[in-house]
Amino acid sequence: MKNFLKEIFSGTELVGTINLISGIIMALLWSYFASQWWSVAFGFLAIFFLIEAIWHYVLTDYLRYIHKDRQGK
């Protein structure tokens, strides 16, 4: 059970999850304040956080694949 939790909540996956949640919140704020000129900042931040979340999830999957490949040898 301990190894399962350690694998699920690795550092990069946790950062990816935080970025995903932040990106969704920023996108919701951007859509709510769409008539205001300053809401563009929320849109840029939403895109940034969502791209970062995807990057961290891809990196986590890649590191998991490398780790399992090394264990098999």
* 14-30 confidence digits (pLDDT tens): 888 899 999 999 999 99
Q: For the chain, how many structural domains are there in total? A: 1
Q: Is 10 left (phi over 0), alpha (psi -120 to 50) or beta?
A: beta
Angle at 39 between CA 56 and CA 47, to 5 degrees: 20
Distance CA 71, CA 61 (A): 15
Question: Residue 56 sits in which domain range?
Answer: 2-72
Helix (H, G, I), strand (E, B) or coil at 9: coil
pTM above 0.85, yes or no: no
23-73 per-position pLDDT tens digit:
999 999 999 998 999 999 999 999 999 999 998 888 877 777 777 777 766
Instruction: Tell me the pLDDT of the chain averaged across its residues.
Output: 83
Q: At what angle do helices 40-72 and 11-32 cross, to 10 degrees?
A: 160
